[in-house]
Amino acid sequence: EVQLVESGGGLVQPGGSLRLSCAASGFTFSRYWMTWVRQAPGKGLEWVANINQDGSEKYYVDSVKGRFTISRDNAKNSLYLQLNSLKAEDTAVYYCAGGDCSGGSCSSVPVSWGQGTLVTVSS
């Protein structure tokens, strides 16, 4: 069974930093694109960043470029998101999501999702 478990969320002051982690199990982590998606309280989903299988390709939404860094450790079956220079508008539940490798090719489209970790940016 595919499992994605996020951790590392919490309360942080504006300008502060956090590192989110996502522990993956139940599938061959190194074969899959991985994605971070966030959802502000009462708002819609927002794609944040994704990373390819070996970490050589990384893409970000414009609003986090230069502040957030996505990374992965395939030996540890783990995905990370480093959040720096945090702003109030970064307050959200952050979901880790895995891509899909059915049909003979691998896609970055989020298929498997964790339950999310809440990041609150407030003084």
Partner 1 sequence: SYELTQPPSVSVSPGQTARITCSGDALPKKYAYWYQQKSGQAPVLVIYEDSKRPSGIPERFSGSSSGTMATLTISGAQVEDEADYYCYSADSSGNQRVFGGGTRLTVL
Binding of partner 1 by 20 (CB under 8 A): no
89: left (phi over 0), alpha (psi -120 to 50) or beta: alpha
Residues 36-55 that bind partner 1 (CB under 8 A): 37, 44-47, 50
Binding of partner 1 by 98 (CB under 8 A): no
Task: State the sign of the Cα–Cα–Cα–Cα dihedral 58, 96, 23, 101.
Answer: negative
- The amino acid at 17: S
Minimum CB separation of residue 115 from partner 1 in Å reads 6
Binding of partner 1 by 34 (CB under 8 A): no
Minimum CB separation of residue 114 from partner 1 in Å reads 7
